[in-house]
């Protein structure tokens, strides 16, 4: 299994995963044209080669291009019932045969790829994170959660690769330009994980099999890539974690990352 982030941040999110038999996109937070270009740039793939599009929740930075992608490339579209309800009228008409409903704790099998879902704490209809397995390889994806729950920790413990939200620095958020109500939402239990929260989350998940962590969904206004990386690493060092055992990087905001595998 190999994967890359296509875009990552508060202005848009999408991720591509490929196995020998299966190709999927998770979230579609840019226009259909931009997503197709990113996919071509990242791996020379056409969206027509995708086997499915999966959505974590209904917010526009995750669904903006979902309807166009599904219609234009005839893709099966997977989301929870709560997400489908909240998306009603938002992404345009989707044929019934393309609509697929996923449930928390469900296991979906697409070719040689197994995908499990777990709830996250976010102000959305029925948001989920993902655990993908192909053979002995595992990839966890957890963004858009105000707190890192025990359920998330259990699902993601000791995965080989982990894409984890590090959305904001609390001080930058506090002193930034956002209105107070939005600051409260972001910092709340159904908002977004801070850099410090990401570091603490890693203490609950990193294991002997974990080799890569990609910090994702960084805020453009309330965070900086170097700050997120520094904060997470300091948190791990303070708790005597050997940083030589795992590679920690930050997903690029507007362009695809390198391939991880």
Question: Cβ contacts of residue 38 below 8 Å, gap of 6+?
Answer: 6, 7, 14, 30, 255, 256
> For position 22, what pLDDT does the model report?
98
Tokens 């449930």 correspond to what residue?
103
Give the pair of three-digit tokens for residue 81. Answer: 């019932």
- Helix 225-238 / helix 195-205 crossing angle, nearest 10 deg: 40
Would you say 17 and 51 are in contact if contact means Cβ atoms under 8 Å apart?
no
For residue range 116-165, list pLDDT tens digits in order: 999 999 999 999 999 999 999 999 999 999 999 999 999 999 999 999 99
Q: Say how far apart CA 245 and CA 225 lie, in whole Å.
A: 21
CA dihedral defined by 199, 163, 249, 158, rounded to 10 degrees? 70
Is the sign of the CA dihedral 261, 70, 141, 230 positive or negative? positive
Would you say 176 and 125 are in contact if contact means Cβ atoms under 8 Å apart?
no
Would you say 182 and 218 are in contact if contact means Cβ atoms under 8 Å apart?
no
For residue range 45-55, list pLDDT tens digits in order: 899 999 999 99
What's the pTM value of the predicted model, to 2 decimals?
0.96
CA-to-CA separations, 149 to 63, 109, 153, 172, in angstroms, rounded: 24, 25, 6, 24
Residue count of the chain, please give it: 261
Is the sign of the CA dihedral 158, 160, 163, 169 positive or negative? positive
Nearest partner of 27 among 39, 41, 43, judged by Cα: 39
Q: Which domains does the chain have, with CATH numbers?
A: 2-250 (3.60.15.10)
Q: How many CB atoms lie within 10 A of CB 212?
A: 17
Instruction: Output the tens digit of pLDDT for each of the chain's 261 residues.
Output: 999 999 999 999 999 999 999 999 999 999 999 999 999 998 898 999 999 999 999 999 999 999 999 999 999 999 999 999 999 889 999 999 999 999 887 899 999 999 999 999 999 999 999 999 999 999 999 999 999 999 999 999 999 999 999 999 999 999 999 999 999 999 999 999 999 999 999 999 999 999 999 999 999 999 999 999 999 999 999 998 888 889 999 999 999 999 998
Tokens 């990113």 correspond to what residue?
38
Would you say 201 and 193 are in contact if contact means Cβ atoms under 8 Å apart?
yes
């Amino acid at each position: 299994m190999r994967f890359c982030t296509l875009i990552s941040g508060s202005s848009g999110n999408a991720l591509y995963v490929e196995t020998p038999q299966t190709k999927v996109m998770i979230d579609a937070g840019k226009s259909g044209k931009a997503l197709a270009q990113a996919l071509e740039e990242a791996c020379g793939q056409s969206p027509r080669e995708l086997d499915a599009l999966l959505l974590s929740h209904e917010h526009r930075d995750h669904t903006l291009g979902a309807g166009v992608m599904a219609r234009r490339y005839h893709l099966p579209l997977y989301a929870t019932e709560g997400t489908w309800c909240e998306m009603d009228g938002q992404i345009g008409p989707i044929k019934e045969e393309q609509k697929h409903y996923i449930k928390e704790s469900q296991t979906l099998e697409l070719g040689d790829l197994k995908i499990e879902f777990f709830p996250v704490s976010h102000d959305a209809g029925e948001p989920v994170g993902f655990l993908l397995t192909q053979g002995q390889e595992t990839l966890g994806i957890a963004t858009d959660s105000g707190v890192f729950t025990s359920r998330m920790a259990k699902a993601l413990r000791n995965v080989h690769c982990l894409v984890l939200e590090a959305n904001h620095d609390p001080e930058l958020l506090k002193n930034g330009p956002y209105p107070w109500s939005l600051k409260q939402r972001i910092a709340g239990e159904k908002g977004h994980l801070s850099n410090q929260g990401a570091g603490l989350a890693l203490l609950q998940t990193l294991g002997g099999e974990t080799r890569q962590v990609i910090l994702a969904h960084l805020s453009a206004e309330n965070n900086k890539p170097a700050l997120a990386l520094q904060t997470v690493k300091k948190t791990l060092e303070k708790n005597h974690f050997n940083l030589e055992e795992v590679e920690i990087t930050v997903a690029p905001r507007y362009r695809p990352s390198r391939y991880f595998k």
